[in-house]
Structures are given as structure tokens and as C-alpha cells.
Chain A
Amino acid sequence: QVQLVQSGAEIKKPGASVKVSCKASGYTFTSYNVHWVRQAPGQGLEWVGIMEYTGDSYTAYAQRFQGRVTVTRDTSTSTVYMELSSLRAEDTAVYYCAREAPGGDFDYWGQGTLVAVSS
């Protein structure tokens, strides 16, 4: 069965960086896009970025994260990573990875990773 398993919670100080992993299993990793979506406490969902399945590993990010976020992947371990730098308190959120199936279908989600930013 399809599973996306994310790394554990992180506590970071302002200005630091965090790297969250999302390990995929149960499907052909290189055939699907993977997105990152975050949710601040008590707030709605916010799209962060995408790693496309294409061979050149095309990525795109929400404008507000440009220059601070980097999504990469390791096809040997079927893992996608999201790194967010220059962390501030407002980045405190649960970060989710999600698989996108054809037709814009966000069909499977990771369990979420809490990133807390506090001095």
C-alpha cells in the first residue's frame, strides 16, 4: 500500500534551518509529483512547493517562500526532502508531504512533521 512516512518533530531557533524528510513506499517513486503543504496552529493549509516526477527533478515554490525553501529528492531511497532556512516564529507549523496522482489528485499524505521555531 502507498505510504508516505515523514521524519520526527523538530525544535529550532530563529535563523536556523530545518530539513524534513518524506519516505515513499508502495508505488513507483519516480512516477508521481510530491508536494509540501504546511499548516500553522489553528490555521488553514498553505501550499509550499512541489517536486515533479520528471527526470530533471523540476521544482517550484510558493512565492512567499522563494529563496528560503529547497525541495530535493533521493531516488535511491525514495525520499523527498524539504529544507526551510532563516526560520522565524511564523514558520511554526505542521509540514505535510503529499503525493499528486494524475488529474491533480492529492491522494496520499504523510503523517505530518511539527516544526517549532522558538528562542
Chain B
Amino acid sequence: QTVVTQEPSLTVSPGGTVTLTCASSTGAVTSGYFPNWFQQKPGQAPRTLIYGTTKKHSWTPARFSGSLLGGKAALTLSGVQPEDEAEYHCLLYYGRVLNWVSGGGTKLTVL
């Protein structure tokens, strides 16, 4: 069974920098997994921040960036704001058999 793993929770101070990661049980994550990162606040639908590893939408704040780091997909927040407190989910593509698999989400606390 393919498992995607994220940190369950992270805490960061306002103005700080934090990196969230997304690992695959099958090995190193590459751009071929088309990593997506979503932000979700309580009671809301997910909102896509990053797709295709590093690409941003027009609504993605500049302080968010995506990358590959040590065999994982990564989402880095630089200059964290209080409104960044949310759940962050990653989604990876495994081809036309498994299709897409998501991680369990990371609850980010800004404190």
C-alpha cells in the first residue's frame, strides 16, 4: 500500500520560516509526481497554493514556495503570518493505476 507522509503538526512564530514535507513510501519524490499543496482552514474547502512542485497560482502569497528537498516534496513559508495557521495537505500522482494519493495533512500553528 502506497503511503504519503507529512508531519502531523508544526509550530512557528510569526515572521519565522517553516518547511513542511511530503514523503512517499515508494522512494524519492520527483517532479513526475506533480506535487500539489493545499491550504485548508476550518469549515472551508481546500485551496491550492502550489502545483507541479513549484508553480504558484495568482492567489498564492509570495511567502509560499514549493520545492524538492532530500527526496521529498516541500512547502516553505517565509515570513509567516498569523493567517497562515491552517491545515496543509500534499497530493502526489502515481500514474494511471494508483492515480493520486494524499498525505494525512500538517496542522500548522502560528504562535
Contact = CB atoms under 8 A, between A and B. Distances in A.
B89 A103 contact: no
A103 B34 CA distance: 7
B14 to A, nearest CB: 26
A75 interface: no
B103 A50 contact: no
A42 to B, nearest CB: 10
B36 to A, nearest CB: 5
Given A98-B46, A106-B46, A110-B45, 12 more contacts: A44-B6, A44-B103, A44-B104, A45-B46, A47-B102, A62-B99, A103-B55, A105-B51, A105-B55, A106-B36, A106-B91, A109-B45
Interface size class of B (residues with CB under 8 A): 20 to 34
B105 A106 contact: no
Interface of A: 35, 37, 43-47, 50, 60, 62-63, 96, 98, 103-107, 109-112
A5 B96 CA distance: 27
Give the 7 A-B CB pairs with smallest separation, nearest first: A104-B34, A105-B51, A44-B104, A44-B105, A45-B102, A47-B100, A109-B45
B96 A60 contact: yes
A45 B46 CA distance: 9
Contacts of A63: 98
Nearest to B89: A45
Nearest to B51: A105
B46 A109 contact: yes
B101 interface: yes
Of the listed residues B51, B96, B101, the one surrounded by the most CB atoms of chain A closer than 10 A to its CB is B51
A44 B100 contact: no
A44 B3 CA distance: 12
Of the listed residues B34, B45, B48, B55, the one surrounded by the most CB atoms of chain A closer than 10 A to its CB is B45
